[in-house]
Structure 1
Amino acid sequence: MFNLANPPDRFTDNPFPHYDDLLENSPVTPQPDGSYLIVRHADLNAIYRDTATYISDKKQAFAPKFGPGSPLYVHHTTSLVFNDPPLHTRVRRIMTSALTPKALARMEPGLIDTVDHLLENLPQTPDLIEDFASTIPVQIIGNLLDIPMSERGPLRDWSLAILGVLEPTLTDAQLRAGNEAVSDFSAYLQGLIARRREVPGDPETDVLTRLIAGDKEGQLTEVELIQNCIFILNAGHETTTNLIGNGLALLHDNPDQKQRLVEEPRHIDTAIEEILRVASPNQFGNRETAAEVTIGGHRIAAGCNLHLCIGAANRDPEVFENAEVFDIARRPNRHLAFAGGPHVCVGLTLARMEGRIAISRLLNRFPDYHLLPDRTHGGRIRFRGYAHLPAELD
């Protein structure tokens, strides 16, 4: 039986054969700790849309994992993704009002400038993660919150440490690093928020000013404001880095599709969706049952944790024809990379824009780039991406 807490060797390098086996033979798999692993697209889609039966609140699950009152517990039980109404509704409404189409359109020229500047300064043999993919979302989110350039240095390490604790099993060192990152980031944000209260930015473009102001329904508390600013960085950093890095790796490994995209750049939007499907940056989500349910013939008690395998659902042959094939022109493409229902990713439009601009402009400038043999996967179960992606540019 597949055990998510003790996966097979090299699972993080190539989980897809295991996903295919689960889809065919065990779409609902009991876990040793009493939780369940769910892999079918139809099941995940139904769970995402039924927020009364399947809840996102993680106070019960995170108390023993992080310790009640710890910085990690406070962060992960206050941020948007692990909450239900009314907090989720209130925070999401304010975030959505800050990420309007007009605000995103105003960001696009700056994003293009950032990408072009990085491309102009790439060495002949860059690491496409360190030198390119990971830099883009840090700069964009830094711009969203109007964080001074000189103060952005720690942002990526904070994000990696805080998200790293969402893995199924943790070391004491990971817990310490995660708690320190939340504490350090919170202290930094307290000062930034105080400065912004004194001198507000333009609420049309400065998300932090918009979050401080709230909306006609009210304002966020100081804790809610700080923890959801951390969430914005975390949610938009590692996943977007992975989208760009995974996309460049997939195109390299499928040279026919890469050449097609070079020759027919109109396919960039569907290519981004296919990258999201084939190598979803976020491989797993979670829900907790609020009542007894039956899924795939298994009776599951209330209060049970469900591991939702997005990476497997996006390969479900019931939904995707030739699911193992990477096809940049695939239509339709009903992937679940951004989850679904009321909790669908609030930053999905921004993530798509970053992926589209980064990949298309790199391909336009370096159509013959190729990867060197020693690429390194990130080593995470929940998040799929590369730690290092060395390349040679033509």
Structure 2
Amino acid sequence: MTATRAGEIARDLDLRALPQVFYSNPYPVYAALREQSPVKPMPDGSVFLTRYADLVAVYRDAQTFSSDKKVEFSPKYGAASPLFEHHTTSLVFNDPPLHTRVRKLIMGALTRRAIADLEPGLVVLVDGLLDAIEAKGGGDLIEDFASAIPVEIIGNLLGVPHADRGPLRAWSLAILGALEPRLTPEQEALGNRSVAEFTAYLRDLVADRRKSPGDPEHDVLTRLIQGEEAGEKLSEAELLQNCVFILNAGHETTTNLIGNALVALQEWPQEKQRLMEALTGNAGDASAQESVMTLAVDEFLRFESSNQLGNRRAVRACTVGGVDLAEGALVTLCIGAANRDPAQFTQPDVLDLQRENNRHLAFGFGIHQCAGLSLARLEGRIAIGRFLQRFPDYRLTQSPVRGGRARFRGFLSAPFSA
């Protein structure tokens, strides 16, 4: 994309009418916005933020900037729709006290010890996928690898029987797809149907878990249920919708992390070589290899943020980035732009897998920082690291296909040879 074209898109930016070239590479547009209009008025009356400092200021001030989306989602979905009930009940689109109650219960099942206990099973899962790829001599980075990992991990956390996991990914993609700024009637219908089918399944799962509880230190669903009994009251709808949220939050973003990383390494061969040299140079030292991959995963998250956009609503008149906002103003936080802000990151458009002090915003910031960030980092570290060690010379055999979304940045397919 030329600088002139990026400037034109930035000048006329409308998230509901984005050109195809934006989905391929939005970063020149983000750069133009940071320079020309970092607090950009949008056609729908909202503002679009692209500077790192402005996003952090909004994240910090949860008293002024609400995450509650009922005002926006009612006209978008209809107040009686399954999509409205889900997205306005889930953790991410709520404020305290509901947000506080649910987050506390989820975090209680995602302790450092609990996540460490997941690692052996994750290694077995990843190695099994790699075995299947090796037997075929290749496959698809998304379908055969990246997407299969988080579905299994989240399925384990919720205690979903393996035989029942087939529809989980499709449900998640449809529900999250309905968050896009422009929604077709077909996407809306599929999203509503997916929420209805998923919650119907969960009602039976919850009933079974009430009769036969799991270990609350590892089973998130059991912890949510037992939390009700201990006084952390969740309604049936809150319980069901936040189980849907847990799958959604941990599924597509982690798939995108792994897929984006493995494609980026093909586009940045010198960084791939540096990473491989660091891993092989520390062969036999698990701690050193973990440190190498931890830095790399955070740089992948910064460079190609799985979740590009967030939203807030000003509950009172305020000022952001020197611009006055009225009470009720809707704010879009462009995480993808903030993570490429040269005021925060040296050479932000360069993939640097040894970048230190990488304070990216891929997991958000403040009270809404992603509850599963440690789990996502673990999945990324194990999946990407073991893939590279097994297939150091992998090559893409066709151009990867982007998902065509503004909010979630990832690939639909990326065929490769091992």
Give the alignment's TM-score, normalised by structure 2: 0.93
For residues 102-137 of structure 1, give each alpha carbon's deviation from its aligned partner in whole angstroms, at most 9, with x where no partner exists: 111111111110000000001223011000000000
> Are 1:336 and 2:349 an aligned pair?
no
Q: Any conservation in 2 of the 1:284–1:382 contact (CA below 8 Å)?
A: yes
Report the counterpart of residue 72 of structure 1 in structure 2.
83
Q: Which amino acid aligns with 1:235?
A: A
Which deviates more from structure 2 when the two are superposed, residues 335-344 or residues 122-131? 122-131
Report the counterpart of residue 152 of structure 1 in structure 2.
165
Q: 1:95 aligns with which of 106, 118, 143?
A: 106
The answer to which structure has the higher helix fraction is 2
Q: Which amino acid aligns with 1:103?
A: A
Task: Find the aligned partners of 2:199 and 2:93 in 1 and give their Cα distance.
Answer: 18
In the TM superposition, residue 25 of structure 1 has moved relative to its aligned partner by 1.3
Report the counterpart of residue 227 of structure 1 in structure 2.
241
> Are 1:45 and 2:70 an aligned pair?
no
In the TM superposition, residue 340 of structure 1 has moved relative to its aligned partner by 0.2
Task: Find the aligned partners of 2:197 and 2:72 in 1 and give their Cα distance.
Answer: 24
Report the counterpart of residue 307 of structure 1 in structure 2.
332
Task: Find the aligned partners of 2:54 and 2:88 in 1 and give their Cα distance.
Answer: 25
Which deviates more from structure 2 when the two are superposed, residues 345-354 or residues 193-202? 193-202
In the TM superposition, residue 300 of structure 1 has moved relative to its aligned partner by 1.3
Listed as ranges, the matches of 1:57-136 within 5 Å are 57-122=68-133, 123-136=136-149
Q: Any conservation in 1 of the 2:317–2:327 contact (CA below 8 Å)?
A: yes
Task: Find the aligned partners of 1:27 and 1:220 in 2 and give their Cα distance.
Answer: 40
In the TM superposition, residue 259 of structure 1 has moved relative to its aligned partner by 1.2
For residues 77-104 of structure 1, give each alpha carbon's deviation from its aligned partner in whole angstroms, at most 9, with x where no partner exists: 0000000011000111111111111111
Please state whether the residue corresponding to 2:319 is helix, strand or coil: strand
In the TM superposition, residue 3 of structure 1 has moved relative to its aligned partner by 2.0
Q: Which runs of 5+ in 2 are unaligned?
A: 1-10, 280-288
Q: 2:346 aligns with which of 321, 342, 346?
A: 321
Task: Find the aligned partners of 1:160 and 1:204 in 2 and give their Cα distance.
Answer: 28
Please state whether the residue corresponding to 2:247 is helix, strand or coil: helix
Q: Any conservation in 2 of the 1:71–1:182 contact (CA below 8 Å)?
A: yes
Q: 1:370 aligns with which of 377, 384, 395?
A: 395
Report the counterpart of residue 253 of structure 2 in structure 1.
239
Task: Find the aligned partners of 2:267 and 2:232 in 1 and give their Cα distance.
Answer: 50
Listed as ranges, the matches of 1:343-358 within 5 Å are 343-358=368-383
Report the counterpart of residue 165 of structure 1 in structure 2.
178
Task: Find the aligned partners of 1:20 and 1:83 in 2 and give their Cα distance.
Answer: 30
Q: Which amino acid aligns with 2:238?
A: E
In the TM superposition, residue 201 of structure 1 has moved relative to its aligned partner by 1.1
For residues 228-251 of structure 1, give each alpha carbon's deviation from its aligned partner in whole angstroms, at most 9, with x where no partner exists: 000000000000000000010111
Q: Which runs of 5+ in 1 are unaligned?
A: none
Q: Which amino acid aligns with 1:312?
A: A
In the TM superposition, residue 4 of structure 1 has moved relative to its aligned partner by 2.0
Q: Which amino acid aligns with 1:160?
A: L
Task: Find the aligned partners of 1:65 and 1:314 in 2 and give their Cα distance.
Answer: 29
Task: Find the aligned partners of 1:176 and 1:366 in 2 and give their Cα distance.
Answer: 41
Q: Which amino acid aligns with 1:166?
A: L
> Are 1:33 and 2:44 an aligned pair?
yes
Task: Find the aligned partners of 1:349 and 1:231 in 2 and give their Cα distance.
Answer: 17
Please state whether the residue corresponding to 1:99 is helix, strand or coil: coil
Please state whether the residue corresponding to 2:294 is helix, strand or coil: helix
In the TM superposition, residue 299 of structure 1 has moved relative to its aligned partner by 1.8
Listed as ranges, the matches of 1:144-223 within 5 Å are 144-214=157-227, 216-223=230-237
Q: Any conservation in 1 of the 2:108–2:217 contact (CA below 8 Å)?
A: no
Q: Which amino acid aligns with 2:74?
A: A
In the TM superposition, residue 140 of structure 1 has moved relative to its aligned partner by 0.4
Task: Find the aligned partners of 1:297 and 1:169 in 2 and give their Cα distance.
Answer: 29
> Are 1:249 and 2:263 an aligned pair?
yes
The Cα RMSD (Å) is 1.0
For residues 305-355 of structure 1, give each alpha carbon's deviation from its aligned partner in whole angstroms, at most 9, with x where no partner exists: 111000000010000011111000001111100000000000000000000
Q: Any conservation in 2 of the 1:212–1:219 contact (CA below 8 Å)?
A: no
Q: Any conservation in 2 of the 1:213–1:219 contact (CA below 8 Å)?
A: no
Report the counterpart of residue 359 of structure 1 in structure 2.
384
For residues 353-386 of structure 1, give each alpha carbon's deviation from its aligned partner in whole angstroms, at most 9, with x where no partner exists: 0000000000000001111232100000000000
Task: Find the aligned partners of 1:125 and 1:257 in 2 and give their Cα distance.
Answer: 22
In the TM superposition, residue 295 of structure 1 has moved relative to its aligned partner by 2.0
Which deviates more from structure 2 when the two are superposed, residues 263-272 or residues 283-292? 263-272
Sequence identity percentage:
57
Task: Find the aligned partners of 1:315 and 1:348 in 2 and give their Cα distance.
Answer: 20
Q: Any conservation in 2 of the 1:98–1:211 contact (CA below 8 Å)?
A: no
Q: Which amino acid aligns with 1:11?
A: F
Which deviates more from structure 2 when the two are superposed, residues 34-43 or residues 367-376? 367-376
Task: Find the aligned partners of 1:161 and 1:324 in 2 and give their Cα distance.
Answer: 31
Report the counterpart of residue 380 of structure 1 in structure 2.
405
Q: Which amino acid aligns with 2:344?
A: V
Please state whether the residue corresponding to 2:139 is helix, strand or coil: coil
Q: Any conservation in 2 of the 1:310–1:336 contact (CA below 8 Å)?
A: yes
Task: Find the aligned partners of 1:304 and 1:163 in 2 and give their Cα distance.
Answer: 24
Task: Find the aligned partners of 1:103 and 1:225 in 2 and give their Cα distance.
Answer: 21
Tell me the matched-pair count: 393
Please state whether the residue corresponding to 1:190 is helix, strand or coil: helix
Q: Which amino acid aligns with 1:311?
A: G
> Are 1:286 and 2:311 an aligned pair?
yes
Q: Which amino acid aligns with 2:386?
A: R
